[in-house]
Amino acid sequence: MIFASDLDRTLIYSKKFVSDREGIRLIEKKDNEEISFMTEKAIEELKALNEDMLFIPVTTRTIEQYKRIDILEYISPKYAIVSNGGNILVNGEVDEEWNRSIHEKIKKGCLPLEDLLLKFNEIVSKDWLLRRRMADELFTYCIVDQEKIPMEKLNSFIEWLELRNWKVSLQGRKLYFVPYCVCKWKALEHIKERENIDFIISAGDSLLDIPMLKSADIGIAPPHGEIYKIYKETEETKNIIFTEKEGIAAAEEILEKINNYAKGVV
């Protein structure tokens, strides 16, 4: 059995989700800044789960950003899917063959990034675009002021871009532009076949997680994410279980549900 889970806003949470530090552990720092947290209970549930099944962290984070999370170094999962599926880490090392295959697919099937940015520049403004970053030479994302984005223009650009094999996800202050072939589920499917494991439970909160949640045998999502806000009670989420708890407590509920399932407790 595989448990494949998104990280940010699914298992781990930024300090804006933390109002009381009791029972909370800091699990990520950047320089002197506190970045991410988990509850002690969630950490214990994750440790127990990791002993009973193949746990695979699945994240849009870059390799560098992923490696900042100290609890994952301690757990040492065999596989990690990073860069939204553009990279697979095997025992902490990049699967170069997988990475090359993804770059080839991007080159053959997607609008070149430079053309994407030329079109994007027609609607962009310094009023809402704060900065832009590349992620492991696979996709790009922007730090934005969400309240100032001209959503009508952005939605029109998204429609144009999707016809050219890119997908878009707005997650809080981050606006992602990702080639369709850079996909969490595709990377997970590759590991599934490599390990010859049939049953997958997945968890995630954003639109980039939907293919993984819908294709897994069981998909779980917290109610504070994009998926719930946009697709609640639609065909898009009919096979997805939503937690009752929100925020950092949702991680506890997700992990508890999966541990109970592994033990045969319904």
Give per-residue pLDDT as tens, 92-116: 999 999 999 999 999 999 999 999 9
% pLDDT > 70, the chain: 99
Q: Which of 180, 183, 181 lies closest to 166 in space, CA to CA?
A: 180
Q: Which of 235, 238, 190, 188 lies closest to 209 in space, CA to CA?
A: 188
Largest Cα separation within the chain, whole Å, is 55
Give per-residue pLDDT as tens, 145-157: 999 999 999 999 9
CATH topology of domain 2-101+183-262: Rossmann fold (3.40.50)
Mean pLDDT of all residues belonging to the chain: 93
Alpha helices in the chain (DSSP H): 40-52, 63-66, 70-75, 96-109, 113-120, 151-162, 184-195, 210-215, 226-231, 248-262
% pLDDT > 90, the chain: 82
The secondary structure of residue 234, as a DSSP letter, is: S
Domain ranges across the chain: 2-101+183-262, 113-179
Q: Which of 244, 254, 261 lies closest to 12 in space, CA to CA?
A: 254
CATH of domain 113-179: 3.30.1360
The torsion angles phi and psi of 209, rounded to 5 degrees, stand at -90, -10
What confidence score (pLDDT) does residue 228 get? 86
pTM of the model: 0.93
Place 63 in a pLDDT band, splitting at 50, 70 and 90.
Answer: very high
Give per-residue pLDDT as tens, 201-240: 999 999 899 999 999 999 999 999 888 887 777 777 778 9
